[in-house]
Each structure stands twice: as structure tokens, then as C-alpha cells.
A and B are shown apart, each in its own frame.
Chain A
Amino acid sequence: MSTTTAVPEARILKPLRRGAPRWLAWAGYGAVVLVVLIFAVSSSAFLTPGNISATLNQAAVFAVAGFGLAVVIITGGDDVVNGGIDLSVGAVAGLAGTVAAVAAGTGMQPPSAIALALLMSVAAGIINGSAVAIGLRPLLATLAMMGIAGSLNLVISGNVKVPLTGTTFEWLRDGRVAGLPVAVAVMLLAFAVVGLAMTRTTWGIRSYAVGQNPTAARVAGLNPVRYVFVSYIISAALAGVAGILLASRLSSAVPGLGDQILLDIVLVAFMSVVFSRRLVVSLGGTLVAALFVAALTNGFTLLGVASQWVGAAKGVLILVVLAVVAVRGRGTAR
């Protein structure tokens, strides 16, 4: 594997543009620009710095966890049944928040509490990765982990909210880095690190290769299992980061939180398809999707539209994504 060169990878990457018409690749961005314009014209509050900052802040948790899920889907392939998926992201995020809160509550220093929470998340990722590596279907393996993490969360928290206080966590909630809320800074940092890793490193390019066509990747000398294994660890670690950000935002770890956030994380990761030039799941697309979903919720409120409509809007978005994927799939010789 160490002897592989970039040539076969480039060949694997080449036919990525599938059967979709070229304009479709820009339709997603077009929709975002249109919606933002509508909101900006209709509400003077929409583009105020305070509101933009609040919206970015609301997107951060879903974006960070979404990046991890995107890596899993990229590496495992986006086939709905057999492809890469990590259903445990929500539960692991919830567990990380609870572990941090309980640890901090027992007097542990915040950095140690956060480290412990992240270790716990990585452990979940290792189990997920191992299960998938030995051949379990990701959908089922991570569903099992979702149950385990969710139930551990209840045990550790005693099914009560665990307050998360102290200057460190208050800083995570209300602090600013270079004028941006801390959660937004973390989101951008995670995007930069994971985004660069996926597109500019050998490892990242190979992960794409493994996800697009594992057989070809194997023929080219890659070991797909290795990349898939790592992807679940990245996903769980980022879910842990998201969980700590969310617990800080809520000033407490909330039992059952995992179920509340899972769908939105899955939504932004899959929605990234419409924000990618090649119409595949991508990190950049995930970021745009998370911002778009947050802006929708925010903008609808500013317009005075009852927030039930946001659920409808998300439903329409999912349909659009599925339609795009279907159109893309047409003409693809699989």
C-alpha cells in the first residue's frame, strides 16, 4: 500500500461527475442565495451582526457533528443500505456532554473533564469502527451503539439534567474568539482541519477513493477497512466535540438529547450533496447545509412565520436532496 502512487487514485476520482446536468450543481447555492436575499429584504433584523452571530452559533453544533458523519459517508460510500453511516453521532454527543458535566460536577478541572468526554467518544468510535471492520452493517452496528450510548447517558446522569457551570464552560457558551462566538470558531477550526485533511492529504484522497469504489481501491493496493475504521473514530470524536459545545450552550447535559439532534445532523451531512460541485457528500457542503438550516429557522422566525413551517421546509429540502441524488444516479453505470 505504501507503494501506491497518485495515478490510480486520480483515475478513480476522474469519473466522479456522474449523470447530473451541470446547472444542478449550482442549484443548491442558488436556492441559498435566494432564500437569504428574501430574508434580508423582508427583515431588517436578519443581517444585523448580532443576528448573524446567533445564527452561526445555532449552526455550529450540527456542523461539527455533521463533518464527522460526512467523513463516514465519504469513506464508507453513500449507498443508503450498505454505505457508511453513523447513527450513534447524536447519542455519543449527548454522552460526551453528560460525561463532561458529571466529571466537572465532581470537581474535575474542566480541561480534564473535556478530555475524559472526548476519550469516551473516541472509545465509542473505536467500537463502531471495529464492528464495521469485522463486517457488520454500519447501519446496524451504529444503531446498536446509539442504544448503548443513549442508555449509558441515562445511567451516568441518573436521567436528570446535570448542570454544567464554571468559567470554562461559560466561555464556551458566551465567549468570543476574534469576534466570533467560541462555538463558531470551533466549527471553522474543525472545518479547516478536517476539510484540508480530506482534500489535501493522501489519506483524505484515499478515503474518497475507498468510498467511491472499494473494489478499485483494493485493486490499487489500498486497504479499505483501515480508512473506514478511522472514519468512525473521527466521527465519534467530532460528535464528542459537538456534544460538549451543546452542553455548554444549554448550561447542562440533557438526558435524551441524542435523539433530539440526530436527525438534524443526518440532514446536514446528506444535504451537503446539493452544495457540492460533484454532487457528493462533502465537508464544505455540510458547512453550508448547517448554516442554511439555521438561517431558515432564524429567518422564518424573523418573518413571523410559525416555526412549524421550518419542519416542512426541512422535509422539502430532504426531498430535493433525494431528487438530486436520483437524477445524479441516472446514467451512472454501477
Chain B
Amino acid sequence: MKNSRPAVQATPLALKLLASSAALGLLVTGCSLKEPSSTTTPAPAASGAAAEQISPTDIPSLEGKTVGIAAKDIVHDFSRVVYDTVQARVEELGGEVIATQAEAKENKHVSDVENLIAQEPDAIIVILGDATTLGPALEKVNEAGIPLFTIDFQSEYSTNNVTSDNWVIGSTVARTIAENIGGEGQILVFNGFPGVAPCRIRYSELEVVLEDYPKIELIEPELQDKYEGTVEDAKQQINDALRRLPEGEIDAVWSCWDIPQIGAAQAIDAAGRDEIKVYGVDAEPGALDMIADPESSFTATVAQQTTVMGTRSADNVALFLSGAEDEVPTTSYLEPVFIDKDNVTEVRSELGI
């Protein structure tokens, strides 16, 4: 479906690698990798969506500017789409991109930022990350006098952070679950990333909402989802839980993102336990397919406006570098879009996801 990326990478790697090292610093190579993926992501829709707030004509050019990008990973759809659209938008505005992605490795993320500093770009955009591990590297960005922008990552060194309102996402999902299961029951949660800000916020919002639903309990022990091999692992864990907890002992499954929930819903659907409802966040294509299937236990998710996030961040860089610093807020909040079985088809065509 959408994952054309691995296929693109696989075939001409060795050849292109030789060519790229021989072709002294041709930036062409930086672009060549992106072309195929940007065709699969709705880049045109992205620039159109950016028009919501500021019309594209108002965005100054990035001609002659270089923007370094340090993404934490391109493992799931959210990060991949943001990574692609932010690059596409910088190039559309005439800027040059130096793109790095850390394969979900903390150490590489720090190295990527350090390596970008050496290149002295006009701005650096960091996509996802952790304030603790990246802090010292981001401080070096500041010391080097390079304006720092972040996407879905709150940092004291960031000029502007583009993010969804995770508090709204968290409470909306929590309220929906509580109402859907009739105000009483047991929720099984995946809570493998209590240290990752968006997940932490969404989980604490769940707790806040449940304060007013004393008859709803979170099942102990909580499950731990993994960042890689997530679907298979979650499927296994839910299969185990289904054996342990007979009918009537689980009413819903919660996670701060969709990927484990895809595995969870697969396991629940296969077991025919249609009394259990599954809720996620991110609107991964796999999750949307399941929500669109009336038979599936996958009940709802929340779409983040990923394409708009990428373009908005690039636009903010352009505004900031052109001197329009006043027009760049500390945080650009983007409205999350709630998706359930009723509106899934409609929202998909609207957002192009």
C-alpha cells in the first residue's frame, strides 16, 4: 500500500551508493531518494491544507537557505509522512534540505544533530525526540546560533514546536471509551512509553477522565508495547491476555498509538471476542482499514494532521528566517481529527489518508 519506501531503497542501493560517494557532494542524491516517497504521500494536499491559516503566497522563499532535518525514525506512518512533507515543503519554498533519520536509535539521533551543526545550516528541524537525551545536543544548536524548530517535541531550546494538542487527544479518546462501554468495565492498556511526552500526556488524560468514572478500572499489570516489531508483539500479548481474562473481563483496549492496536484488534477479531473495543491514536492506514471494517473490534482513532505538521514547520522556518519572527508562535497547535466507524470514509478522503 503506502510502504513503497523499503522497495525504493532495496534495489539500486549499491550502485547509487558508489555513485553518490563519487559524485562529490552532489545534493542531487539527497533528493533522489525522496522523489518516490513524496509521490505516495499527499504533498499537494499538504500545501493546500497549510492555507488554512496563512496563504502560501504569504510564505517567504527559502531560496539560498539550507535546512537540516533530524527525524527520530521513519518506522511508522506518522513520522514518515512528517519527514517527507517537511522536506517537500522546504524544497518547494526553494530551500535545500539535509535530511537525517535516526532509525529510532537515541544515540544516532544525538549524532545526527551534532553532524548537522557541523554543516552550519540556516535552521534545524527536529522531528520527535526526547528532551533528556537530546537536550545537550540541542543546547549546542543554540550555542552555534542556529534556530531550532521541532515537530511533536517540546524543548526549551526550540523556537517553534508544531504539535497536535495531545491533551485534547488524550481526553477525547478517554471520554469516548468511558461512554462507549457504558461507564463501567475494565480497560486493558499498553503503557510501554511512559517517558515519551505525547504518550505520557494521553495516558494522564485517561487517568483524569477516569476519576469521574469510578466503575471503570485499568487492568493490572499494564502491558508494555515495543517500538519495533510492535504489531506482532502486541498480537501475542493480547492473545495471552484473552486466554487469561475470559469474556466479560476486558471491555476495551487502550494505547497511545495505533500500531500495537492493529495487532490487538487482529487478535481480538480472530478470537471472536466482539465485546472488546480497541482504541488508538495516529490514524495509521492499517488502523483506518480496520475501523472501516464493520466487523472489526478497532473502534476509533485520532488523526493528527501529519502533512500539515510538516508544511507548517517548514513555513515557520521560512517566516522566521525572513525576519517575520512575530508570526512564529512558541507552539503551533493543530486540531486533531477524531475518527470512528461512522466518519472514517469521509475523513479519509478529506485528509487524504
Contact = CB atoms under 8 A, between A and B. Distances in A.
Interface of A: 35, 38, 41-43, 45-46, 48, 50-51, 54, 57-58, 61, 154, 159-161, 163, 173-174, 246, 249-252, 254, 256-257, 259-261, 294, 297-298, 301-309, 311-313, 315-316
Given A304-B25, A306-B99, A61 B107 contact: yes
B236 interface: no
Determine chain B's interface SS by DSSP, over half rule.
helix
A58 B114 contact: yes
Interface size class of B (residues with CB under 8 A): 35 or more
B115 A302 contact: yes
Given A48-B118, A54-B115, A304 B30 contact: yes
B224 interface: yes
Consensus secondary structure, chain A interface: helix
A311 B132 contact: no
Interface in B104-135: 104-108, 110-112, 114-120, 130, 132-133, 135
B118 A306 contact: no
A238 to B, nearest CB: 17
30 contacts: A46-B118, A48-B118, A50-B118, A160-B194, A160-B195, A161-B130, A161-B132, A161-B195, A163-B132, A174-B136, A246-B107, A251-B132, A251-B135, A256-B226, A256-B227, A257-B106, A259-B228, A260-B106, A297-B108, A297-B111, A297-B115, A301-B119, A303-B24, A306-B29, A307-B100, A308-B33, A309-B20, A311-B103, A312-B13, A315-B13
B343 interface: no
A312 B112 CA distance: 17
A58 B136 CA distance: 14
A252 B133 contact: yes
A54 B107 contact: no
A312 B17 contact: yes
B273 interface: no
B115 A42 contact: no
Contacts of B55: none
A159 B224 contact: yes
A301 B98 contact: yes
A38 B21 CA distance: 7
Contact of B133 (A254, A301, A311): A254
